[in-house]
């Protein structure tokens, strides 16, 4: 079967189904085709129009595809693994944590005052002593620019004032 978009002399468009292209030509020649709206016999193939039906059907598909694309573009989350942490890595972390705890034994927790304290010591306003605390990335950068020694703690520690 073959379908043609047909148009009568009055501009009515309708679909005509035929066994073949020559079938259509034959029916045309014998004036067997009439407009379903006005019975006009002056039938011709309608100018080729974009397949409107198919186009609208495919639109939701495109939207769906775009949504899927957006999902993959979302900000990446921290890398994770579904594998357990290897024993060697756990042991290494334990050693680092122990060494850090050892190093911080003589150090005082100053919390969010770290930047102020470190700066005061650097400029001789206070006696120098080991301290550790919190600093925002900006604070840490500012301190380093001023020549104050700042080193990140490798293992996050629970602040003493938050343990109570
Ligand atoms: Zn018509």
Q: How far is the CA of 29 from the centre of ligand 1 (A)?
A: 18
Q: How far, in Å, is the centroid of ligand 1 from the Cα of 41?
A: 8
Count other C-beta atoms under 10 Å from residue 40's C-beta. Answer: 16
Confidence (pLDDT) at 59:
47
Query: Element (H or E) spanning 7, and its range?
Result: strand 2-7
- pLDDT tens string 20-59: 888 888 888 888 899 999 999 999 998 765 555 554 444 4
pLDDT of residue 57: 47
The pair phi, psi for residue 102, each rounded to 5°, is -60, -45
Cα-to-centroid distance, 9 and ligand 1 (Å): 6
Please write the tens of the pLDDT for every residue from 3-13: 899 999 999 99
- Express each pLDDT in 116-152 by its tens digit: 999 999 999 999 999 999 999 899 999 999 999 888 8
CA of 12 to the centre of ligand 1 (A): 4
**CB under 8 Å to 24, separation ≥6 — which residues?**
2, 4, 16, 18
Distance of alpha carbon 103 from alpha carbon 96, whole angstroms: 10
- Write down the residue that tokens 């595809």 correspond to: 65
Per-chain residues with Cβ under 5 A from ion ligand 1? 8, 10, 12, 35, 37-38, 40
Task: Please give the distance, rounded to the nearest whole angstrom, from the Cα atom of residue 32 to the centre of ligand 1.
Answer: 14
Domain positions in the chain = 1-49, 87-163
């Amino acid at each position: 079967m073959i379908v043609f978009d047909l148009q009568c002399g009055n501009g009515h468009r309708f679909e005509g189904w035929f066994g073949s292209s020559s079938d259509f030509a034959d029916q045309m020649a014998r004036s067997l085709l009439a407009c379903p709206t006005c019975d006009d016999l002056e039938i011709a193939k309608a100018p080729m129009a974009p397949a409107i039906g198919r186009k609208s059907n495919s639109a939701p598909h495109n939207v769906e595809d775009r949504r899927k694309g957006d999902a993959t573009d979302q900000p990446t989350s921290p890398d994770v693994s579904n594998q357990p942490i290897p024993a060697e890595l756990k042991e290494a972390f334990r050693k680092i944590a122990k060494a850090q705890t050892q190093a911080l034994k003589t150090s005082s927790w100053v919390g969010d005052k770290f930047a102020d304290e470190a700066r005061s010591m650097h400029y001789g306003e206070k006696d120098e002593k080991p301290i550790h605390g919190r600093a925002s990335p900006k604070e840490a950068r500012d301190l380093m620019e001023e020549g104050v020694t700042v080193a990140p703690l490798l293992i996050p520690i629970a602040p003493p004032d938050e343990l109570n």
